[in-house]
């Protein structure tokens, strides 16, 4: 899940805004989770489809 959709339980504001220290800590933690942590599942699936298509194209050209 991306932090832009989360609502803080401490201040009831979106975590992406970082209004309180809890929001800022959560946002920082989620940003540090890796390069694909901010992607939504649809984007991850699209990247996988592109990767599989590229591999299939390369395999077809090798034959």
The CA-CA-CA angle for residues 12, 17, 18, to 5°, reads 80
Domain limits, the chain: 1-32, 39-63
Alpha-carbon span 38 to 61, nearest angstrom? 34
Per-residue tens of pLDDT for the chain, all 63 residues: 555 678 888 898 888 888 899 988 888 887 777 666 667 888 889 999 999 999 999 999 877
């Amino acid at each position: 899940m991306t932090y832009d959709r989360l609502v803080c339980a401490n201040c009831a504001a979106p975590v992406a805004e970082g209004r309180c220290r809890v929001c800022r800590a959560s946002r920082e933690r989620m940003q540090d989770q890796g390069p694909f942590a901010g992607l939504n599942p649809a984007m991850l699936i699209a990247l996988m489809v592109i990767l599989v298509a590229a591999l299939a194209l390369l395999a077809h050209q090798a034959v």
